[in-house]
Chain A
Amino acid sequence: MTFELLLFLAAGLFSIGLFGALSQQSIVMIMMGIELMIGGIIVAAADFWHFLAPTGSGQVVIVAAVVAMAVEMAMGFAVTTAIYRARQVDMTDMAEDLKG
């Protein structure tokens, strides 16, 4: 049952992060939501590794998720810096020029 409960935890983290990523206006807060979503993916991957596939490749999935987290954070900060420097914008609603 622990296996299912940990997946439940992962689903909870993913959904909380998804809510944040969809609802927040601030670019930095959206990044926080994405971080939580990837946190959920890491929990699920560790759970699968422990209970179903305790192989090296299973651990590599977690490594890839951690790298995705780092890339998201670095590029997010860089984009925030660039758009704030160009237009003093730090909210998504103020950067909707391409909105249809």
Chain B
Amino acid sequence: MGTTAAVLLWTLGVLALACGVLVFTLNSMARVTFALLASLVCVGGVVTVLGLPYLGVVIVLMMAMEMVIMAVFMIAYMMNPAGLTPMSMLHNKRGALAISGVVFAALTSAVFVVPWPDRPRLRSKDTTVQVGMSLMGDQMLTMVTLGFVLLATMVGATVLATNRGRYDRFGDDLDQRPARDPAGGGVGR
């Protein structure tokens, strides 16, 4: 790994951590959302610098879209969206700090104590082809499973987020006429 790549990794890593801390310390919901976006964009940058440009760009694009949607939800559902007054929406802060501190200590000690195996130097020149061949080859079952998971998510999220569906309008057997609507339609209503 060259010097430029190492400097980039350091910078992105420190920025990712700093923005991660800001997510839970800022007051404004909009700023919190963009701090999380910055942190996860840095994660995408780290992945790119490590030699996986395709996945890195996917992560950055996905996070940009997700956080824009999340900003709308944050401002819609939460009080104090502009952060004009300090706020704290925490419960059991000490317990959470203790648990996360213990987890961090355990993970860090494992990182430096575990005797990691020798590091291979041979890497594929085209990592995009590599992941594509893997997903369409020996990892096809994983790909199919992920596809079904995403499909189930789309169906489940739509069902949960829909206010009134056809069963609300037409009854359990879909045979109720006229439909049970909050306001009648048509002429003379």
Flag if B103 contacts A14 (CB, 8 Å). yes
Give the most central of B101, B112, B160: most A CB within 10 Å: B160
Instruction: Tell me if B153 and A71 are in contact (CB < 8 A).
Output: yes
Q: Is the CB of A84 within 8 A of B91?
A: no
A64 touches B146 (CB 8 A): yes
Which of B77, B112, B139, B163 is close to A80, meaning CB atoms less than 8 Å apart? B77
Q: What residue in chain A is nearest B163 (Cβ atoms)?
A: A85
On chain A, the residues within 8 Å of B119 by CB distance are 3, 51-52
Contact with A along B98-111 (1 / 0, CB 8 A): 01110110011001
Given the contacts A9-B17, A51-B119, A71-B149, A43 and B43 also touching, CB distance less than 8 Å: yes
Contact A23 B36 (CB under 8 A): no
Looking at the assembled complex, report how far the CB atom of A4 sits from the nearest CB atom of chain B, in whole angstroms: 5
Residues of B within 8 A of A23 (CB): 24, 90-93, 95-97
B30 at the interface (CB under 8 A from A): no
B131 touches A60 (CB 8 A): yes
A22-B77 in contact given A35-B36, A64-B142 (Cβ < 8 Å):
no
Task: Give Cα distance in the complex from A80 to B73, angstroms.
Answer: 9
Are B90 and A25 in contact (CB-based, < 8 A)?
yes
Interface residues of B in 155-180 (CB under 8 A from A): 156-161, 163
Residue in chain B with minimal CB distance to A88? B77
> Which B residues are CB-close (under 8 A) to A47?
50
The residues of B that contact A49 with a CB separation of less than 8 Å are: 50, 52
Give B20-60 as 1s and 0s: 1 = Cβ < 8 Å from A's Cβ atoms: 11011000000011001001100100110011100100110
Question: Residue B4 at the A interface, CB < 8 A?
Answer: no
Q: Do residues A59 and B55 form an inter-chain contact, with CB atoms below 8 A?
A: yes
Q: Least Cβ distance of B162 to chain A in Å?
A: 9
Whether A39 contacts B89 by the Cβ 8 Å rule is: no
A95 at the interface (CB under 8 A from B): no
What would 27 A/B residue contacts be, using CB atoms closer than 8 Å?
A2-B6, A6-B9, A6-B13, A6-B50, A9-B16, A13-B16, A16-B23, A17-B20, A22-B96, A23-B92, A28-B77, A29-B89, A31-B70, A32-B70, A36-B39, A36-B40, A46-B46, A47-B50, A54-B51, A54-B120, A54-B123, A59-B131, A60-B142, A66-B58, A67-B150, A70-B66, A78-B160
* B residues with CB within 8 A of A: 1, 6, 9, 13, 16-17, 20-21, 23-24, 32-33, 36, 39-40, 43, 46-47, 50-52, 55, 58-59, 62, 66, 69-70, 73-74, 77-78, 89-93, 95-97, 99-101, 103-104, 107-108, 111-112, 116-117, 119-120, 122-124, 127, 130-131, 133-135, 137-139, 142, 146, 149-150, 153-154, 156-161, 163
